[in-house]
Amino acid sequence: MDLSFTPEEQKFREEVRAWVKENLPKEISHKVHNALELTRDDLQGWAKILGKKGWLGYGWPKEFGGPGWTAIQRHLFEEETALAGAPRIIPFGPVMVAPVIMAFGNAEQQKRFLPGIASGEVWWSQGYSEPGSGSDLASVKTKAERKGDKYIVNGQKTWTTLGQYGDWMFNLVRTSNEGKPQTGISFLLLDMKSPGVTVRPIKLLDGGHEVNEVFFDNVEVPAENLIGEENKGWTYAKHLLSHERTNIADVNRAKRELERLKRIAKTEGVYEDQRFRDEIAKLEVDIVALEMMVLRVLSAATSGKNSLDVAGLLKIRGSEIQQRYAELMMLAGGPYSLPLIREAMEAGWQGNFPGGNPALAPLTSTFFNMRKTTIYGGSNEVQRNIVAQTVLG
């Protein structure tokens, strides 16, 4: 196993770094480095900049308009953008549904949907979870009934991240009640502007509007929006989930946040405390270990060996690390980081900073927000079950 980068890979890294420095708007990277709220325009604006360069679909093969990068190049791109303070690419379009359309969609669907995803023009949402169907996704009840050349969709999805901005939504819908629950599910693309679609906000613990409930009331969806075969949606859904879980690990963001933690600890004086430094060191070791795990997977992929099915493992460790750095930042600020000041998440907020240090103001919000990481994308308890079955045997 060779974990060092070749001179060509180093050169590639330099090129990405220089391009990002030139093209990432400063006001966006300022927000990211300080954990301030990103607006729709920030997120989509950056997506479009990447799209123009042909890098929004950075994991795509050349035949579908992607750069055709190796796994290592993709990793270097993710690292350089994260460290420079670029927002995370909203994964639903380019990282999640696009690979499904490439693998299982027909040529017509590929021609119709992929360009809007690659350019960042079309915002996608994920319609998997329902009330009562989260971990047990195979129990989804949202019904799609075939009537001539249309499906009539009725039901409800929930926890739809940023669904308030969604143009299109990919959904798991029930098309049959015969046999095992998994065999009656289909994968349907739905225009969120269709009559009968209602999006309602859910407020999270941190006071933010990040997730939604989406209701379908006799929504007509052209049958041509079905991906692959009817009742085979479970297979396509699983293909997508492995992309989601690898993406959630987000080791590069953890590296950036580790630096933020150190900055806060130094300003607050706790960096001098040996015990606090030990905690930072433990976190750093965990981040390096996670990075090694990611590189091992990449190295195995490059040398043509089968990588372990470690998507679940990466998700578990990555999400725990995200919660840990949010906790340590709170500890570093002590009582000054306790007030929940939602407005402090907005760039340019001029209110009273706790303890006089503006870096502390968004910490409680971030801490609450990070509670989600061990739940979404498949809860960590369920991931442990999967790892126990598939990796440990």
Ligand X SMILES: Cc1cc2nc3c(=O)[nH]c(=O)nc-3n(C[C@H](O)[C@H](O)[C@H](O)COP(=O)(O)OP(=O)(O)OC[C@H]3O[C@@H](n4cnc5c(N)ncnc54)[C@H](O)[C@@H]3O)c2cc1C
Tokens matching residue 9: 């890979």
Give 66 or 163: the residue with its C-beta nearer to ligand X: 163
Give 336 or 368: the residue with its C-beta nearer to ligand X: 368
Query: Torsion angle, CA of 178/179/182/186, rounded to 10 degrees?
Result: -30
What part of residues 135-154 is at the interface with ligand X (CB under 6 A)?
135
Q: Which stretch binds ligand X (CB under 6 A): 129-137, 232-240, 273-281, 320-328?
A: 129-137
Question: Pattern of binders to ligand X over 182-221, x per CB under 6 A?
Answer: -----------------------------x----------
H/E segment holding residue 263: helix 251-268
Nearer to ligand X, 123 or 159 (CB): 159
From the list 193-201, 257-265, 346-354, 378-386, the region that binds ligand X by CB under 6 A is: 378-386
Q: Which CB, 16 or 144, lies closer to ligand X?
A: 144
What's the CA gap between 309 and 112, in Å, rounded? Answer: 32
Kindly state whether residue 161 participates in binding ligand X, applying the rule CB under 6 A. yes
How many chain residues are in contact with ligand X, going by CB under 6 A? Answer: 19
Q: Ramachandran region of residue 187, left (φ > 0), alpha (ψ -120 to 50) or beta?
A: beta
Inter-CA distances, 45 with 87, 113, 181, 295, Å: 10, 19, 40, 30
Q: Name which of 301 and 375 has its Cβ closer to ligand X.
A: 375
* Residue 378 sits in the site that holds ligand X (CB under 6 A): yes
Q: Which of 119, 129, 164, 175 binds ligand X (CB under 6 A)?
A: 129
Q: How many angstroms separate the Cα of 265 from the Cα of each of 59, 240, 334, 337?
A: 36, 39, 10, 12
- Residue 381 interacting with ligand X (CB under 6 A): yes
Of residues 33 through 52, those in contact with ligand X by CB under 6 A are: none
The answer to the question of residue 372 lying near ligand X (CB under 6 A) is: yes
Neighbours of 296 (CB within 10 A): 15
* Shortest distance (Å) from residue 209 CB to ligand X: 11
Q: Which residue in the shown chain puts its C-beta closest to ligand X?
A: 134
- Report d(CA 177, CA 175) in Å as an integer: 7
Q: In this chain, which of 181, 271, 382, 390 binds ligand X, going by CB under 6 A? A: 382
User: CA-to-CA distance for 348 and 356, rounded, in angstroms?
Assistant: 15
> What crossing angle do the helices spanning 107-119 and 40-53 adopt, rounded to 10°?
120
CA 236, CA 37: separation in Å to the nearest integer? 33
In the chain, DSSP assigns E strands to 124-127, 143-147, 150-158, 168-174, 185-191, 197-203, 209-222, 226-227
Strand partners, 165: none
- The count of other CB atoms within 10 Å of the CB of residue 51 is 20
* Residue range at the interface with ligand X (CB under 6 A); choices 27-35, 146-154, 288-296, 371-379: 371-379
| Nearest distance, CB of residue 70 and ligand X, angstroms | 29
Interaction of residue 166 with ligand X, rule CB under 6 A: no
Q: Which stretch binds ligand X (CB under 6 A): 158-166, 270-278, 299-307, 332-340?
A: 158-166
Instruction: Give the interface with ligand X as residue ranges (CB under 6 A).
Output: 126-129, 134-135, 159-161, 211, 372, 375-379, 381-382, 385
